[in-house]
């Protein structure tokens, strides 16, 4: 009888143990599913970017490019590094700049095709950053009543397709642009009257940023907040550079009215700032993000008087933040947006190199301006 009871207890213990193991396996399986499911739509795009990341220009490669002595050598080196550039048409600084911009636009379109449909609205909104350039050029031409616009400076991008481009080229007044752009997302911006070109450009930039943030939030994807924060940090730097430039030019109050509004601490700091000197401006950021970067920028600016020293310091800070966050979010939508912004920084570095070659600047000066 005792042996019978003992056998039953042992059987129950084995059954209990098997049940616990089964529950453990189920829990692990469920955790894995919940962890992987949010990133699954992005796995293919992430894999492609992981392969293409080897073509991102390293700090050492950027310094090596700064050693080149002609634009032709620079273009040849870039073609070998996966850039689609016409060596004949890109022979001038202006055309090289346009060629690099078009490469960025092509990258956005390529990633749009590779990614889940959930990201389509985000890529469309991101393209608006590049649509802004031709729109600003057409507005400036008509506002200032200029006789013509260099056709090489405007090209198709996003909603500014060939037909739209032709109509804008034929426009004679700002009222014409209102009619042409009425069917587009820009109709509200162009329906208003502005007292200056700057007022229009701020309105356009603010609208595009709000559309970009809205697109990220509307996608209802995980990591939406970290991507939104990244976009706002990017705008913070543009805003800081705007104020710094206005102070250097002796018109600090003008800088404030040219800020693109956000809800960040940096924007509020810039808005409240009443500093008279760059030193005071830098110290107004004590205890806030970018303080140490601004100090570095000011120190270097005091040596050569170049605004690029502030830009280098701020964008270098942003680049570190970008890469640090990427280590925390290796899969999903974040690596895609981070890759685009790293290519933007690469574009800035290439322009620095190209301008330095064109201006025959000393190699040491060029290296000192690179965002590395």
Give the angle 85-86-88 at the CA atoms, nearest 5°: 140
Please report which helix (H) or strand (E) contains residue 36, including its range.
helix 2-36
Q: CA-CA distance, 284 to 291, in Å (whole number)? A: 8
Q: Is the dihedral of CA 90, 91, 93, 95 positive or negative?
A: negative
* Bridge partners, residue 160, by sequence: 157
What tokens does 34 get? 């919940």
pLDDT of residue 45: 81
Number of neighbouring beta carbons within 10 Å of residue 340 = 17
Candidates 141, 150, 213; CA nearest to 172 is: 141
Contact 124, 158 (CB under 8 A): yes
**Collapsed DSSP state (helix, strand, coil) of residue 183:** coil
Q: pLDDT tens digits for 204-236?
A: 999 999 999 999 999 888 789 999 999 999 999
Q: Which helix (H) or strand (E) holds 118?
A: none
Q: Which of 104, 79, 105, 80 is nearest to 90 (CA)?
A: 79
**Which helix or strand (DSSP H or E) is residue 172 part of?**
none
pLDDT > 80? residue 201: yes
Between CA 215 and CA 253 the distance in angstroms is 32
Whether the full predicted model's pTM is greater than 0.75, yes or no, is yes
Q: Considering the chain, what percentage of its residues have pLDDT values greater than 90?
A: 71
Domain boundaries, given as residue ranges, for the chain: 93-221
Instruction: Identify the pLDDT of residue 10.
Output: 61
pLDDT tens-digit map of 39-79: 677 888 888 888 888 889 999 999 999 999 999 999 999 99
């Amino acid at each position: 009888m005792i042996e019978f009871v003992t056998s039953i207890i042992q059987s129950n213990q084995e059954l209990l143990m098997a049940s616990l193991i089964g529950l453990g396996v189920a829990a692990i399986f469920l955790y894995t599913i919940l962890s992987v499911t949010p990133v699954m739509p992005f796995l293919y795009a992430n894999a492609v970017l992981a392969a293409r990341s080897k073509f991102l220009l390293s700090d050492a490669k950027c310094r090596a490019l700064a050693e080149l002595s002609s634009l032709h050598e620079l273009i040849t080196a870039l073609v070998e590094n996966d850039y689609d550039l016409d060596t004949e048409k890109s022979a001038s600084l202006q055309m090289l700049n346009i060629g690099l911009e078009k490469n960025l636009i092509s990258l956005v379109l390529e990633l749009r095709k590779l990614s889940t449909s959930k990201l389509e609205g985000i890529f469309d909104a991101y393209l608006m950053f590049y649509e802004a350039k031709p729109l600003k050029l057409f507005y400036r031409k008509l506002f200032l009543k200029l006789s013509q616009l260099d056709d090489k400076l405007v090209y198709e991008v996003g909603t500014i397709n060939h037909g739209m481009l032709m109509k804008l080229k034929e426009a004679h007044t700002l009222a014409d642009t209102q009619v042409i752009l009425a069917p587009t997302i820009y109709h509200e911006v162009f329906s208003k009257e502005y007292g200056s070109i700057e007022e229009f450009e701020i309105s356009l930039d603010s609208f595009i940023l709000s559309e970009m943030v809205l697109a990220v939030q509307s996608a209802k994807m995980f990591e939406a907040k970290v991507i939104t924060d990244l976009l706002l940090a990017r705008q913070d730097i543009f805003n800081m550079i705007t104020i710094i430039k206005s102070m250097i030019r002796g018109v600090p109050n003008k800088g404030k009215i040219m800020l693109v509004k956000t809800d960040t601490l940096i924007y509020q700091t810039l808005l409240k700032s009443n500093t008279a000197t760059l030193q005071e401006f830098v110290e107004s950021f004590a205890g806030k993000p970018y303080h140490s970067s601004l100090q570095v920028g000011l120190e270097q600016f005091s040596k050569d008087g170049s605004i690029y020293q502030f830009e280098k310091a701020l964008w270098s800070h942003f680049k570190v933040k970008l890469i640090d966050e990427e280590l925390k979010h290796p899969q999903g939508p974040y690596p895609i947006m981070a890759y685009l912004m790293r290519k933007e920084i690469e574009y800035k570095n290439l322009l620095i190199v190209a301008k330095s070659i064109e201006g025959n600047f000393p190699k040491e000066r060029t290296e000192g301006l690179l965002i590395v």
